[in-house]
């Protein structure tokens, strides 16, 4: 009897704690969602339901331009990072322990280093190389911090693949390129895809490195939000936040809970 009671109390406190953390994590996001539909500009008064902040958001060419830049950079940088990163992972996987750990060490630098240092160092380099800051430099910076995520996603899959299937394909007369694309690539494809998605999200979310490498006259969503925040928050930012949250929610639900093919 006592045991059941303590188990019940224990469970109650555990649930209570989980709920408390969920409230802490989601209250700010929920507040912004509510405010995005508030007809009054005040944050404390409900002025009735409206969707005008959403209309304002979609008719603002600055925000739409920034959105376009953000998505374009995220897509192109992840794509290039996937190509360079996958090739590198294959090479690193076939290396001897010393060069392998050396290369993995370099790979870890941008992941462990502080973003502000990475951002500053890239800015200094672009100026030293004579590349003017703008779209190009943001793209290069994003590719740079995306490559490690691709390598770290592809590596475990490469380790799982059986070397002999590749060799068998070669023995049966396949060229190394076709053996790779017909035998190895299907095996590592899940890692390549998750590397792409991870890189894409990292690029979408980045502010600090973009802030230092963007130059004047170009904005991603993050840098635009930053400059808006300093001028005082407009309700259209709440609308933007709600849309981004829903997009992230849907994307993650699909990637996490989509029915997986069983082997």
* Residue numbers 116-155 binding other proteins by CB under 8 A: 116-118, 120-125, 128, 140-141, 143-144, 147, 149, 152-153
**φ/ψ (deg, to 5) at 49:** -80, 135
User: Is residue 79 within the footprint of other proteins (CB under 8 A)?
Assistant: no
Nearer to other proteins, 124 or 168 (CB): 124
Residue found under tokens 């849907």: 250
Rounded Cα distance between 262 and 154, Å, is 20
Inter-residue contact 196 to 154 (CB < 8 Å): no
Report helix angle 235-257 to 2-36, nearest 10. Answer: 130
Q: Write out the binding residues for other proteins, residues 230-259 only, by CB under 8 A.
A: 230, 233, 237-238, 240-241, 244-245, 248-249, 252, 256-257
Q: Write out the binding residues for other proteins, residues 201-220 only, by CB under 8 A.
A: 201, 204-205, 207-208, 212
Candidate residues 94, 101, 160, 178; the one interacting with other proteins per rule CB under 8 A = 94
Candidate residues 7, 25, 64, 250; the one interacting with other proteins per rule CB under 8 A = 25
Inter-residue contact 110 to 144 (CB < 8 Å): yes
Candidate residues 92, 133, 199, 218; the one interacting with other proteins per rule CB under 8 A = 92
Candidate residues 9, 18, 23, 250; the one interacting with other proteins per rule CB under 8 A = 18
CB 114 → other proteins: shortest distance, Å? 4
User: Is residue 187 within the footprint of other proteins (CB under 8 A)?
Assistant: no
Annotate 227-247 with DSSP letters as a single string.
HHHHH---HHHHHHHHHHHHH
**Alpha helices, H only, 37-94:** 52-59, 61-93
Q: How many residues sit close enough to other proteins to count as binding (CB under 8 A)?
A: 82
Residue count (the chain) = 263
């Amino acid at each position: 009897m006592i045991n059941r009671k303590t188990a019940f109390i224990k469970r109650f406190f555990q649930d209570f704690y989980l709920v408390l953390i969920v409230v802490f994590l989601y209250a700010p996001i929920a507040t912004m969602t509510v405010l995005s539909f508030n007809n009054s500009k005040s944050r404390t008064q409900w002025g009735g339901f409206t969707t005008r902040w959403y209309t304002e958001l979609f008719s603002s060419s600055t925000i739409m331009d920034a959105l376009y830049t953000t998505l374009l950079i995220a897509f192109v940088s992840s794509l290039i990072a996937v190509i360079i990163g996958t090739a590198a992972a294959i090479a690193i996987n076939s290396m001897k322990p010393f060069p392998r750990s050396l290369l993995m060490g370099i790979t870890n630098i941008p992941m462990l280093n502080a973003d502000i240092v990475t951002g500053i160092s890239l800015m200094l380099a672009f100026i030293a190389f004579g590349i003017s800051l703008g779209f190009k430099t943001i793209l290069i910076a994003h590719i740079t911090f995306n490559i490690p995520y691709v390598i770290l996603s592809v590596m475990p899959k490469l380790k799982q693949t059986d070397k002999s299937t590749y060799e068998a394909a070669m023995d049966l007369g396949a060229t190394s390129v076709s053996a790779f694309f017909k035998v190895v690539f299907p095996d590592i494809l899940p890692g390549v895809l998750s590397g792409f998605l991870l890189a894409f999200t990292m690029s979408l979310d980045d502010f600090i490195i973009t802030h230092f490498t963007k130059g004047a006259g170009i904005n991603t969503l993050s840098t635009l939000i930053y400059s808006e925040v300093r001028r005082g928050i407009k309700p259209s930012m709440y609308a933007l936040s709600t849309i981004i949250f829903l997009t992230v929610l849907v994307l993650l639900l699909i990637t996490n809970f989509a029915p997986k093919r069983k082997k």
